[in-house]
Structure 1
Amino acid sequence: MRLSRYFLPVLKETPAEAQIVSHRLMLRAGMIKQASAGIYSWLPLGFKVLKRIEQIVHEEQERAGHIPMLMPTLQSADLWRESGRYDDYGEEMLRIKDRHDRDMLYGPTNEELITDIFRSYVRSYKDLPLTLYHIQWKFRDERRPRFGVMRGREFYMKDGYNFDLSKDDALHAYNRHLVSYLRSYERMGLQAIPMRADGGPIGGDYTHEFLVLAETGESEVFYDSAVTDLTFGDRDIDYDNVEQCAGVLEEFTSKYARTDETHDETVWADVPEDRQRVARGIEVGQIFYFGTKYSEAMGATVQDADGNQVPVHMGSHGIGVSRLLGAIIEANHDDNGIIWPEGVTPFHCGIVNLKQGDEAADAACEGLYDQLTKAGLEPLYDDRNERAGGKFATMDLIGLPWRITVGPRGLKNGVVELTNRRTGESEELAPEAAVAKVVAIYAGV
């Protein structure tokens, strides 16, 4: 993409309403614009990152054997009355009526709707196990929406639902989701710690939240510092292997890590004092096993091998896709702007022309742009007739991981400058070598 043809409304000043880093930088980098309290338009740069995150989530869910679909944003209140949650959910649920005076709601989650789909089509244990998921806009009418996309009213979320014949099978689905989430977060450049949590309005005895440590986190968390040494890495996981998935869960949850809602001072005292940490965290996902809570209430049963009708065991599993974008920025920024991890960057590399209109510089930039594009990458070429300082400031603000700077002086020596946004380190390379290095970096992402 050529910046002269792109819509990137960056701001020089920080809007007064932005209280945390991610909100400030998303507004300044032209990623979002507030439409009303807690509701945002996603501008091109923000939308690109949102789709990068979504793609990682899709890839890891499908790798784990989960099946994508799409459910509507509006739901019938009748289903929620059937489960008993319509009146219990509280004022966060946006309740509306259609022209025929039927009660509707803007879905905050989809347990009822997916259970209705399941009971309409699945009859036998032979059709199990089954996990369906979708990525869809949700709405929760927060009393005080704040912090930009971190606590908005409208948000983009992946929610998945497993249906299993037994508790053991459902707990394997729980473990499988934990594994897929760990892999997803690491691909996004995040360390998200699974912490024992409270089931809240969804319910369930088994539940873990995934939290990213950040000063602006809404939750106080207590953890053994040993959990921060754990990495998922490039493990070859067989998602059908019950013992292997359970082993990963044990590895990542055996050390103490809890939110303030489930913190236990007695157990905490057993953690070596030099490893006790108290911090704040941003929730970016949660997994639940809630057994037959919804299947019994809504008649979601299957015939087992003995011919008996039995309620299925269920769980739900969510990732806050739009919230993740804010969390990534909170964990990856400096005084000059965002620093995108390679896995989610909107553009793979920036190209800065120090002297637009110079024949050699223009030709070199065009060559770099073409080579990167042919290699399957998306470069952002700043071809504007602006001063160099302004171009560098824009690139730093929007946070592309790599930048190639082209100027007449370097070209006389046959080199361009390749800069790492995270470290600030630069090296002079021949144009072809700079392209080859960037391509090699993304080949491993």
Structure 2
Amino acid sequence: MRLSQSVIATLKETPAEAQIASHRLMLRSGMVRQTSSGIYTWLPLGLKVLRKIAQIVREEQDRIGGQEVLMPTLQSADLWKQSGRYDAYGPEMLRIQDRHKRDLLYGPTNEEMITDLFGQVVKSYKELPQLFYQIQWKFRDEIRPRFGVMRGREFLMKDAYSFDASYGEARKTYQKMMLAYLRTFQRLGVRAIPMVADTGPIGGDLSHEFIILAPTGESGVFYDSLLEEKDWLQTAVDTTSSQDLHRFFDELTHHYAATDEKHDTQAWSLVPAERQREGRGIEVGHIFYFGQKYTQSMGVSVNGADGAPFFPEMGSYGIGISRLVGAIIEASHDENGIIWPDEVAPYKVVLLNLGNKDEASLALCEKIYAHLSELCLYDDRNERAGVKFADADLIGYPWQIVVGPKGAVKNTVELKRRSTGQKEEISVENLLARFSSNTLK
């Protein structure tokens, strides 16, 4: 993409409503624009990041046998009345009526709808286990939306739902999903610590939140520092067998980590004082096991091996995809702007032409761009070098290729790594070879 032909609406000044780094930087870098309270339009750069995060999430769900579906944003209130949650959920649920006076709601979550769907298509224990997921927009009518996409009213979410024949099998699915989440966050370039959490309106008696530590987080957190020192994410990637997974899960949950809602002062006192850590964190994922809460209340059963019907065990598993955009920025930025991990950056490379009227610079930029166009945003604007550098740092492309008249004569460019600031002079041939072989780190 050529910057002169694109809509990347950067801002020099920080909007007054932006209170935290991610909100400021998303507005200033031209990723989103607010349309109403807690609701945003995603502009081209922001949408690219959103889609890359969604694709990584999708690949890891597919890896553990998830089947992707797409359920409606509008749900029948009858399903929620059947489960008993329609009146209990609270004012965050947007309730509406259609022209026939039928009660509908804009879905904040989909346990009822997926349970109803499961009951229509699965009839026997032989068809278990089943794992469904979707990536879909949701709405929760927050009383005070703030912090940009971190606590908006409309948000993009991956929600998954499992059905198993027994508690033991359901627990294995829960552990398998925890592993998938750790792999997902590793690929996204963030460290998320699983913490025992409150189940909230979802229900159930087993729940973990995945928390990215950040001072702007909405949750107070208490955890054993060993969870930071040990490379849990790499351990998760290396875990393959069910026995290894079980050992990993037991070891992980052996170390104290909890949000303030589930903080146990007695258990906390058993953690050595030098390893006690307190802070705040951003929730980016939440998993629940809640047994037969929905299958039983909605009368959804399958036939067992003896022919008698039974209610399957369920779990649900959410990742806030749009929230992750903000959370990654909170975890990875500096005073100049965003520092995107390579896997989710809107473009891996920005090509900066500092010789706007220099024929050699123009020709060299065209050559580089022709080879790297799939990875690259070409800043071909007739702007001062300072403006181009400032925008490149603000938006946070992982790599900057700087072309100027002096280097163009020698067929060399400057290559800068955004995360470290390290620079090197490199020939164009070596540059293209390194990118084509995907060896840049």
Give the TM-score, by structure 2 length.
Answer: 0.97
Tell me, yes or no, if the aligned pair for 1:404 and 1:434 is still in contact at 8 Å.
no
For the residue of structure 1 that corresponds to 2:13, the secondary structure is: coil
Which residue is 1:339 aligned to? 339
Q: Distance in 1 between the 2:256 and 2:248 partners?
A: 15
Q: Which of residues 383, 392, 396 is equivalent to 1:395?
A: 392
Q: Which has the larger displacement, 429-438 or 259-268?
A: 429-438
- Residue 243 (structure 1) shift: 2.0
Superposition pairs of residues 119-130 of structure 1, within 5 angstroms: 119-130=119-130
- Residue 43 (structure 1) shift: 0.6
Q: One-letter code of the match for 1:19?
A: Q
Residues matched between the structures, number: 439
For the residue of structure 2 that corresponds to 1:198, the secondary structure is: coil
- The reply to whether residue 232 of structure 1 matches residue 220 of structure 2 is no
Superposition pairs of residues 36-435 of structure 1, within 5 angstroms: 36-229=36-229, 230-233=231-234, 235-238=237-240, 241-373=241-373, 377-435=374-432
Tell me, yes or no, if the aligned pair for 1:188 and 1:341 is still in contact at 8 Å.
yes
- Residue 49 (structure 1) shift: 0.2
Give the TM-score, by structure 1 length.
Answer: 0.97
Q: Distance in 2 between the 1:214 and 1:138 partners?
A: 25
Which residue is 1:436 aligned to? 433
Q: Distance in 2 between the 1:395 and 1:438 partners?
A: 19
| % identity of equivalent residues | 58
Tell me, yes or no, if the aligned pair for 1:218 and 1:280 is still in contact at 8 Å.
yes
Structure 2, unaligned stretches of length 5 or more? Answer: none
For the residue of structure 1 that corresponds to 2:317, the secondary structure is: strand
Q: Distance in 1 between the 2:175 and 2:286 partners?
A: 12
Tell me, yes or no, if the aligned pair for 1:179 and 1:248 is still in contact at 8 Å.
no
Tell me, yes or no, if the aligned pair for 1:224 and 1:276 is still in contact at 8 Å.
yes
Q: One-letter code of the match for 2:434?
A: K
For the residue of structure 2 that corresponds to 1:342, the secondary structure is: coil
Structure 1, unaligned stretches of length 5 or more? Answer: none
- Residue 249 (structure 1) shift: 1.9
Q: Distance in 2 between the 1:303 and 1:355 partners?
A: 73
Which deviations, in whole Å up to 9, do the C-alpha atoms of 1:98-154 show, x marking residues without a partner? 000000000000000000000011100110100000010000000100000000000
Which deviations, in whole Å up to 9, do the C-alpha atoms of 1:260-313 show, x marking residues without a partner? 011111111111111111010000000000000000001111111111100000
Q: Distance in 2 between the 1:119 and 1:310 partners?
A: 12
For the residue of structure 2 that corresponds to 1:306, the secondary structure is: coil
- Residue 442 (structure 1) shift: 6.2
Q: Distance in 1 between the 2:333 and 2:188 partners?
A: 14
Q: Distance in 1 between the 2:221 and 2:439 partners?
A: 34
CA RMSD after TM alignment: 1.3
Tell me, yes or no, if the aligned pair for 1:227 and 1:255 is still in contact at 8 Å.
yes
Q: Which runs of 4+ in 1 moved over 6 A?
A: none
Which deviations, in whole Å up to 9, do the C-alpha atoms of 1:151-187 show, x marking residues without a partner? 0000000000000000111111100100000000011
Which deviations, in whole Å up to 9, do the C-alpha atoms of 1:64-95 show, x marking residues without a partner? 11111100000000000000000000000000
Tell me, yes or no, if the aligned pair for 2:67 and 2:132 is still in contact at 8 Å.
yes
Tell me, yes or no, if the aligned pair for 1:350 and 1:404 is still in contact at 8 Å.
yes
Tell me, yes or no, if the aligned pair for 1:106 and 1:139 is still in contact at 8 Å.
yes
For the residue of structure 1 that corresponds to 2:177, the secondary structure is: helix
- Residue 236 (structure 1) shift: 4.6
Tell me, yes or no, if the aligned pair for 1:128 and 1:165 is still in contact at 8 Å.
yes
Q: Distance in 1 between the 2:190 and 2:159 partners?
A: 20
- Residue 440 (structure 1) shift: 4.4
Tell me, yes or no, if the aligned pair for 2:12 and 2:28 is still in contact at 8 Å.
yes
Q: Distance in 2 between the 1:346 and 1:436 partners?
A: 22
